[in-house]
């Protein structure tokens, strides 16, 4: 590949002068896999990354050497064990698993719906921990899934207690929770409340979710009491831990009543 071709390929990657192009390309390959996709052919990886097949193949083989990709017998590629371990270390970096999962499980039993804990990553929210509800028909979100901050009650709660201005967010801060129906996904209802750690820093939001026909506004407002109670218990548990690592979102001193 000529220097001119290399220059144009870096431009397609979106790599700036301060980025290492090969690293940007490798990350694009890992990001190309969707949540429901266990494997992808080379041609599809090339298309999604907007890179030449030869470039993708070279990088994929390098990623395979260090365990981030695995080539199947049919030639297609899947994520490797190192990618899973990286995700596990991401979750453990918050050091809240032992606190969150039991409390979310208790909330799921109390409400008979699925529960989750979301954290902020840039302009998205990530499902860090999730507990499925006991109902056969329930709302499904995978742990690690990226979702918009400005759609759905978990994201709006995070934005509100990160200090976002506006009448809607002022109302959320005053009442300490937020509910929504069909905002991000049709037929899905959620109610959420904030969780704080040390120094009253926002960690994320606790959410109860389920089908809208089972969770009309009146039911969501009723469940808000349970959600706030659990978010308060989690906040006190995490604020009392010397090992908790909070996200860098400083908020005013606030805990649910």
Residue 199 DSSP one-character state: G
Q: Specify burial of residue 38 (Cβ count, 10 A radius: 0-12, 13-18, 19+).
A: exposed
Full set of structural domains in the chain with CATH: 3-86 (1.10.10.10), 93-250 (3.30.450.40)
Examine the pLDDT at 137 and tell me if it is beyond 90.
Answer: no
Query: What pLDDT shows up at residue 198?
Result: 75
Examine the pLDDT at 91 and tell me if it is beyond 70.
Answer: no
Query: What pLDDT shows up at residue 165?
Result: 95
pLDDT band at 19 (very low <50, low <70, confident <90, very high): low
Helix axes 167-175, 153-160, angle to 10 degrees: 90
pTM of the shown model: 0.62
Examine the pLDDT at 116 and tell me if it is beyond 90.
Answer: yes
How many residues comprise the chain? 257
pLDDT band at 44 (very low <50, low <70, confident <90, very high): very high
Q: Is 7 in contact with 1 (CB distance < 8 Å)?
A: no
Least confident stretch, 116-125, 169-178, 210-219: 116-125
> 């509800």: which residue's tokens?
133
pLDDT tens per residue across span 144-172:
778 889 999 999 999 999 999 999 999 99
pLDDT band at 195 (very low <50, low <70, confident <90, very high): very high
Neighbouring C-beta atoms of residue 226, cutoff 10 Å: 19
Higher pLDDT, 1 or 37: 37
CA–CA separation, 180 and 215 (whole Å): 10
Ordered alpha helix ranges (H), the chain:
3-13, 21-31, 42-49, 53-65, 81-92, 97-111, 153-160, 167-175, 217-239
Examine the pLDDT at 257 and tell me if it is beyond 50.
Answer: no
Examine the pLDDT at 56 and tell me if it is beyond 70.
Answer: yes
CA–CA separation, 152 and 116 (whole Å): 13
Examine the pLDDT at 255 and tell me if it is beyond 80.
Answer: no
């Amino acid at each position: 590949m000529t220097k001119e071709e290399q220059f144009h390929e870096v431009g397609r990657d979106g790599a700036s002068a301060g980025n290492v192009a090969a690293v940007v390309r490798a990350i694009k390959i890992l990001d190309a896999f969707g949540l429901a996709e266990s494997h992808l052919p080379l041609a599809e990886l090339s298309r999604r990354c907007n890179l030449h097949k030869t470039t993708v193949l070279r990088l994929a083989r390098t990623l395979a050497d260090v365990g981030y990709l695995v080539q199947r017998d049919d030639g297609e590629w899947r994520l490797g064990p190192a990618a899973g371990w990286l995700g596990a270390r991401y979750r453990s970096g918050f050091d809240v698993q032992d606190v969150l999962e039991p409390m979310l499980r208790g909330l799921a039993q109390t409400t008979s719906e699925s529960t989750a804990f979301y954290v902020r990553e840039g302009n998205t929210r990530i499902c860090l921990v999730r507990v499925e509800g006991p109902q056969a028909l329930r709302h499904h979100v995978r742990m690690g899934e990226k979702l918009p901050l400005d759609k759905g009650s978990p994201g709006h709660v995070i934005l509100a207690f990160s200090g976002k201005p506006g009448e809607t967010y002022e109302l959320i801060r005053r009442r300490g929770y937020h509910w929504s129906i069909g905002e991000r996904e049709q037929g899905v209802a959620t109610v959420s409340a904030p969780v704080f750690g040390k120094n009253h820093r926002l960690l994320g939001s606790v959410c109860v979710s389920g089908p809208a026909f089972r969770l009309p506004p009146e039911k969501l407002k009723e469940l808000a009491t349970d959600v706030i109670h659990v978010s308060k218990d989690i906040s006190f548990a995490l604020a009392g831990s010397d090992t908790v690592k909070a996200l860098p979102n400083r908020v005013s001193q606030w805990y649910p009543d």
